[in-house]
Amino acid sequence: MSQAIKAVLFEESEVASIAKELGTDSLMGKSLAKLIADTDAFIALGIDVPGHSEAGGYAHNRHKQNYQYINQAGRLFLVTGQEKYAKYAGDLLLAYADKYLKLDFHKQLNTNPPGRLFHQILNEHVFLLNISLGYSCIRHYLSAEQQQTIVDGLFQPMLDMFTEKYDFDFDRIHNHGIWAVAAVAICGLAIDKPEYVEMSIHGLKGDDIEGGFLAQISKLFAPSGYYMEGPYYHRYAIRPLCLFAEAIHRHRPELDIFNFNGQVIGKTIKAMLATAYPNGVFPALNDASLTMDICDAGVIVALGLYAKHYGIDDDILGMAKIQDTVWVNGCGQALSEAYASNNAELNPCWPSVELNEGPNGDRGAQAFIRMQSDNGDVNQLVMNYGQHGMGHGHFDTLGISFFNNGQEVLREYGFGRWVNVEPKFGGRYLDENKSYARQTIAHNAVAVDQKCQNNFDVKLADSRHGEPHFFSGDDANVQGVSAFCRDFYEGVDQQRSLLLIKHEAFAKPILVDLFRLISDEQHQYDYAVQYAGQIVRTNFDYQTHKELDTLGDNFGYQHLWNVAQGKVANESNTSLVSWLQGNSYYTWLSASSSDDEIIFTRSGANDPSFNLRSEPGMVLRRHAKDTLFASVLETHGYFNEAIEASTEARGQVTAVNAIGTNEQGSVIEVVTAETTLTVMVSNQVGVTADTENSVTFNNQTFQWQGYFAVEARG
């Protein structure tokens, strides 16, 4: 290269180091090969800068592709030295410079201001960030005149729009705000206008309080690093956050950004990564898709950045293995090198972690408990007892999900939306997102009196949060979490305690669930289980309905068909439902009296546009004041239809006995043919690991120290 490169995120030495990986099968080598194949295929389509279209329409998609390939081609020019990439990116930028100001603004459709290319300036921010990075990689290839044309026709008008026309939207404390400041700052670096870097870092007012990157990363995350809208939105904000942080690290080293505010950047990346299921998919907390995973481009950037600046361990390497690619950048190169020199077998199990919520970490938490089966498979429990999550919040406090054997077993429905699917309401949130997906009954939770938590009032819900009771995530054989949620239904307090117990009686850890309802009044409690697959057997009689009616008229119940129902009447005083999902059998058992009823449901009622997925579920219904739902989920056996193999289609647990529950504690028994486990859980507010517990039920006294105890006999 004749001129010195001016790339915002590359130094010459890094380019040389990355270029050495071309043609190798290192993670960087594979990433480059994919990037080259992908970019070459798109370049072959020729240059096209269209006008306007609907979201999800051709022009919308093409503008998105164009910015992506300007970015990619820029990096490939540096790494491969092939002029075709610089020429392509340059030509496309010049074409935009020619056209941009000729395009009118879109019509405003929602609260987001419209751009010239996209309906929402959020997309235009993403555009600017990407093309600025690409431009900085090829700037030294362009003539001074060409550079000026691009600045005048494209970059400066965008900067003006973002920081002047829409200044009110520029540097606010919001996940979208990070895209805005990152785009403006990186553009400023790319075109040598440091004033834009300054206002992006410190806010338009320059006070680091009302806006700007430093204020954003000081205020958006809880002390644990958790982002209240959940990982789906977190991973969207993490990309500009990391890109901007890396740019600051390189161009404003005096800010020591990676140690800023107690290493908030490293902490929030790690918190996001720590939520992921063992297969890399993010639990769909709040409005989220069921498939967003760590292979998202933002997470690839974040993992590389974390590896370079905060350190590498087997958990990080395990995620790199799932990603099977790295960020084409010096950070990604560091991760690729570490991965190549690792000789250990990677079977990572991220530590169990409780991530607190709220600016001070005192507004509840999210629990992520992981325990490995003997074969190394990771069982993961997720429980929500934090904040509501604002406009995207689900009304599912104390709701859980559970994952093992490569699949979500106790399932989250996810959002009611097909992102970017234009014929499905332009890819926007569908009505059924509110009327079903966010309702309490759509979750693994208890719905009271056929209503929704906090009456589906977002403001009310945002004013509240769950109350952590205990969290114990270190032991290899028993881990547990418990939390309260008070008055989310008027006059009803709830406490849910969950334990993962590994015991020789079971092939896999069992999940024990003690869900306690406390009220002075009689209520209808619907304990809901969202499962997938085919029911194999039950231990009670039920009636399948000849005609289907809905479970109710409101709060999500109107979307559930009542498929079958039955009173739970049998000798074991335990209701049992067993199902087959994928290659695994699952058996759910719950202590039940003959007044309990189980209703088998299916979603899809009152769905005029087929916006809901048809999914099975079940409800254990009980009328009571105070009560305890004592349940066990056992994972057992193996099924493979293709090779017609089936083992252990019946589980070991034969009964669950609820011995008693009160303000001091709850005691249950989990019974198998050979063994009885007594499970004792402390309900004492303020319990610590040292608290002495003693409860007496039916003249039998149970004593233990700390949060919980498990005793086996037989």
Rounded distance between C-alpha atoms, residue 293 and residue 312, angstroms: 20
Q: How far is the CB of 417 from its own copies (least distance, A)?
A: 10
The reply to whether 607 sits near its own copies by the rule CB under 8 A is: yes
Beta strands in 71-222 (DSSP E): none
Picking from 284, 280, 175, the residue whose alpha carbon sits closest to that of residue 231 is 284
Polymer length in residues for the chain: 714
The reply to whether 535 sits near its own copies by the rule CB under 8 A is: yes
* Contacts of 299 by beta carbon, 8 Å cutoff, 6+ apart: 235, 238, 272, 273, 293, 323
The reply to whether 54 sits near its own copies by the rule CB under 8 A is: no
Q: Which is nearer to its own copies, 540 or 708 (CB)?
A: 540
Residue 543 CA neighbour count, 13 Å, CB half:
7
| Token pair recorded at residue 335 | 């991760």
Q: Which is nearer to its own copies, 68 or 495 (CB)?
A: 68
Query: Please, which of residues 126-185 interact with its own copies by CB under 8 A?
Result: none
Alpha helices in 164-230 (DSSP H): 175-190, 194-202, 213-219
* Contacts of 643 by beta carbon, 8 Å cutoff, 6+ apart: none
Query: Please, which of residues 566-585 interact with its own copies by CB under 8 A?
Result: 578, 580
Q: How far is the CB of 65 from its own copies (least distance, A)?
A: 10
For residue 206, the SS3 value is coil
From 348-356, 472-480, 483-491, 528-536, span contacting its own copies (CB under 8 A): 528-536
Query: Please, which of residues 550-569 interact with its own copies by CB under 8 A?
Result: 550, 561, 563
Rounded distance between C-alpha atoms, residue 108 and residue 122, angstroms: 13
Q: Which is nearer to its own copies, 43 or 292 (CB)?
A: 292
Sequence-distant contacts of 115-124: CB under 8 A, at least 24 apart: 115/161, 116/161, 117/63, 118/55, 118/60, 118/63, 119/55, 119/60, 121/161, 121/162, 121/166, 121/169, 121/180, 122/176, 122/179, 123/63, 123/64, 124/158, 124/161, 124/162
CB 658 within 8 A of CB 628: yes
| Number of residues forming the site for its own copies (CB under 8 A) | 53
Q: Which is nearer to its own copies, 645 or 685 (CB)?
A: 645
Binding mask 204-243 vs its own copies (x if CB under 8 A, - otherwise)?
----------------------------------------
Query: Please, which of residues 294-313 interact with its own copies by CB under 8 A?
Result: 295-296
Alpha carbon 99 to chain centroid, angstroms: 38
Picking from 591, 596, 603, the residue whose alpha carbon sits closest to that of residue 557 is 603
Q: Reply yes or no on whether 392 is catalytic.
A: yes
Q: How far is the CB of 130 from its own copies (least distance, A)?
A: 15
Q: How far is the CB of 229 from its own copies (least distance, A)?
A: 16
Q: Reply yes or no on whether 523 is catalytic.
A: no
Binding mask 237-276 vs its own copies (x if CB under 8 A, - otherwise)?
----------------------------------------
* Contacts of 37 by beta carbon, 8 Å cutoff, 6+ apart: none
The DSSP H or E segment spanning 14 is helix 12-19
Instruction: Find the catalytic residue in 63, 125, 202, 392.
Output: 392
The reply to whether 610 sits near its own copies by the rule CB under 8 A is: yes
Instruction: Find the catalytic residue in 85, 135, 196, 233.
Output: 233
Rounded distance between C-alpha atoms, residue 297 and residue 301, angstroms: 6
Q: How far is the CB of 38 from its own copies (least distance, A)?
A: 12
Q: Which is nearer to its own copies, 46 or 608 (CB)?
A: 608
The reply to whether 608 sits near its own copies by the rule CB under 8 A is: yes
The reply to whether 290 sits near its own copies by the rule CB under 8 A is: yes
From 13-21, 308-316, 483-491, 644-652, span contacting its own copies (CB under 8 A): 644-652
Query: Please, which of residues 392-451 interact with its own copies by CB under 8 A?
Result: 418-424, 427
Q: How far is the CB of 420 from its own copies (least distance, A)?
A: 4
Packed helices 330-341 and 314-323: angle between N→C axes, nearest 10 degrees: 110
From 210-218, 312-320, 530-538, 652-660, span contacting its own copies (CB under 8 A): 530-538
From 112-120, 177-185, 517-525, 645-653, span contacting its own copies (CB under 8 A): 645-653
The reply to whether 36 sits near its own copies by the rule CB under 8 A is: no
Alpha carbon 600 to chain centroid, angstroms: 28
Rounded distance between C-alpha atoms, residue 188 and residue 100, angstroms: 19
Interface residue list for its own copies (CB under 8 A): 56, 61, 289-293, 295-296, 418-424, 427, 534-537, 544, 546-550, 561, 563, 578, 580, 600, 602, 604-610, 613-614, 616, 639, 641-647, 649-650
